[in-house]
Amino acid sequence: MYVAVKGGERAIDNAHAWLAEERRGDPSVAELSVAQIREQLSLAVNRVMAEGSLYDPNLAALAIKQSRGDLIEAIFLIRAYRTTLPRFGGSNPVDTETMACDRRVSATFKDAPGGQVLGPTFDYTHRLLDFKLAADGEAGEVQTAPPHDARTPHIMSYLDREGLIQPEASDDAPPPDLTRSPLELPAARALRLQALTRADEGFILGMAYSTQRGYARNHAFVAELRIGAVAVEVDIPELGFAIEIGEITVTECETVNQFQGSKTQPPQFTRGYGLVFGMTERKAISMALVDRALRWKELGEDNLGAPAQDEEFVLYHSDNIQATGFLEHIKLPHYVDFQSELELIRKLRRDAQANMQEAAE
């Protein structure tokens, strides 16, 4: 006698109760607060905001807590929440020249107006485990300097004056919204950049790295990397002027790349661009490299068949929420399709064995 398996509902309820218990961990250890995550795991919070496409450190910290530190799961929570929010409109473009820079470095000029500011960086730290931190996480006194109030001009603008950098096409049309219309190809650069800024950090890093190693190689210099707060302004039609609705921290990276010139254009530098929510410089630099690689057609370069040059490949596979969902769905039941494959392979084997036997006789 066989009794059919049942009990999906109860299994789900029990699994979720167990998950909640695991999330909390050993109850004799103090519970993490959302504020602690926001303040002390801020780079994780930044990544969740960037790839979740929602600038809200508290929600991102909550998502990290809820997801037990699985950042892709946290990004998923934020994305799913984000879809339910109404879209009121677009802001004016943020003016990153007015950024209050916490960090600003250039690899192309030793000094420039505004100076080089290392800021709170891991660079030049020796990656030695700090065992003292295990017992005492308090930071010492930090020296401060008066804020730099003047505009910090982009390093690129100095190349621009000499006409050495290719001018970017300017366009006042509102950019398309990837979350409100289906992705259709070919995608304009604005749409590509939008996809890249919310793309999976690891994927974009790998793609960027591949261009450095020779798959559509185009040597990039970091003309400038800046991180800091910028004002977000929105035009209010009733008022007739823009008002500042808040401040966000962003990371902006501009790379300068060589361009051989073509029949119609003398040799010139070209630009790769990265702009990402929060303090996310690995992502911003990677984004600039991938942006530059994807511009081959517009710049009249050869298609070398490299993955990073293939807009469809990059844009269709860079979203970690799409990727992880589809990847993990293969653990769902597939009894029915598998059964049909079983029948087929049994039949094909039967036929093949009959044929072999016939051939042998």
Partner 1 sequence: MTDYNFAYLDEQTKRMIRRTILKGLAIPGYQVPFASREMPMPYGWGTGGVQVSAAVLTPDDTLKVIDQGADDTTNAVSIRRFFQKTAGVAVTEATAQASVIQTRHRIPEQDLREDQIIVYQVPIPEPLRFLEPSEVETRKMHSLEEYGLMHVKLYEDISQHGDIATAYAYPVKVEGRYVMDPSPIPKFDNPKLEMAGIQLFGAGREQRIYAIPPYTQVVSLDFDDYPFQPTKADHACGLCGAHDSYLDELIVDDEGGRVFMCSDTDYCATRRRAGHVGTHGTPFEEDAA
Q: How many residues bind partner 1 (CB under 8 A)?
A: 53
Helix (H, G, I), strand (E, B) or coil at 329: helix
Residues 6+ apart with CB under 8 A from 208: 285, 286, 287, 288, 289, 290, 308
Please state the closest distance from residue 343 (CB atom) to partner 1, in A. 6
Strands (E), the chain: 100-105, 220-236, 241-259, 268-277
Q: Which is nearer to partner 1, 107 or 323 (CB)?
A: 323
Nearest to 38 by CA among 74, 2, 10, 14: 74
String marking each residue 162-191 x if it binds partner 1 according to CB under 8 A: -----------------xxxxxxxx-----
Pairwise CA distance, residues 163 & 114, whole Å: 22
- Binding range to partner 1, per CB under 8 A, among 39-47, 161-169, 283-291, 319-327: 319-327
CA quadruple 48, 52, 56, 59: dihedral sign: negative
The residues with which 273 forms a beta bridge, in sequence order, are 254
Pairwise CA distance, residues 348 & 346, whole Å: 6
Pairwise CA distance, residues 231 & 335, whole Å: 54
Please state the closest distance from residue 184 (CB atom) to partner 1, in A. 6
Nearest to 113 by CA among 56, 63, 141, 154: 154
Site for partner 1 in 4-63 (CB under 8 A): 4, 6-12
State which of residues 108, 116, 121, 324 lies at the interface with partner 1 (CB under 8 A).
324
Q: Which is nearer to partner 1, 122 or 326 (CB)?
A: 326
Please state the closest distance from residue 41 (CB atom) to partner 1, in A. 24
Nearest to 104 by CA among 87, 91, 121: 121
Q: Which is nearer to partner 1, 104 or 295 (CB)?
A: 295
Name the amino acid, one letter, at 242.
A
State which of residues 92, 258, 322, 353 lies at the interface with partner 1 (CB under 8 A).
322
Please state the closest distance from residue 21 (CB atom) to partner 1, in A. 20
Pairwise CA distance, residues 333 & 225, whole Å: 47
Helix (H, G, I), strand (E, B) or coil at 276: strand
Q: Which is nearer to partner 1, 68 or 347 (CB)?
A: 347
- CA-CA-CA-CA dihedral for 280, 281, 287, 292, to nearest 10: 160
Please state the closest distance from residue 337 (CB atom) to partner 1, in A. 4
Site for partner 1 in 288-317 (CB under 8 A): 312, 316
Q: Which is nearer to partner 1, 254 or 310 (CB)?
A: 310
Number of Cβ within 10 Å of residue 236's Cβ equals 12
CA distances from 318 to 67, 81, 173, 281 (A): 21, 20, 26, 18
Q: Which is nearer to partner 1, 55 or 273 (CB)?
A: 55
Q: Which is nearer to partner 1, 260 or 355 (CB)?
A: 355
Name the amino acid, one letter, at 111.
D
String marking each residue 84-123 x if it binds partner 1 according to CB under 8 A: x-x-------------------------------------
Pairwise CA distance, residues 288 & 274, whole Å: 4
Nearest to 191 by CA among 304, 323, 286, 318: 318
- Binding range to partner 1, per CB under 8 A, among 166-174, 217-225, 298-306, 328-336: 328-336
String marking each residue 125-164 x if it binds partner 1 according to CB under 8 A: ----------------------------------------
Q: Across the chain, which distance is largest between two alpha carbons, in Å?
A: 95
Q: Which is nearer to partner 1, 182 or 240 (CB)?
A: 182
Q: Which is nearer to partner 1, 135 or 332 (CB)?
A: 332
String marking each residue 330-359 x if it binds partner 1 according to CB under 8 A: --xxxxxx-xxxxxx--xx--xx--x----
Q: Which is nearer to partner 1, 24 or 347 (CB)?
A: 347
Contact residues for partner 1, defined by CB under 8 A: 1-4, 6-12, 76, 79-80, 82-84, 86, 179-186, 312, 316, 321-322, 324-329, 332-337, 339-344, 347-348, 351-352, 355
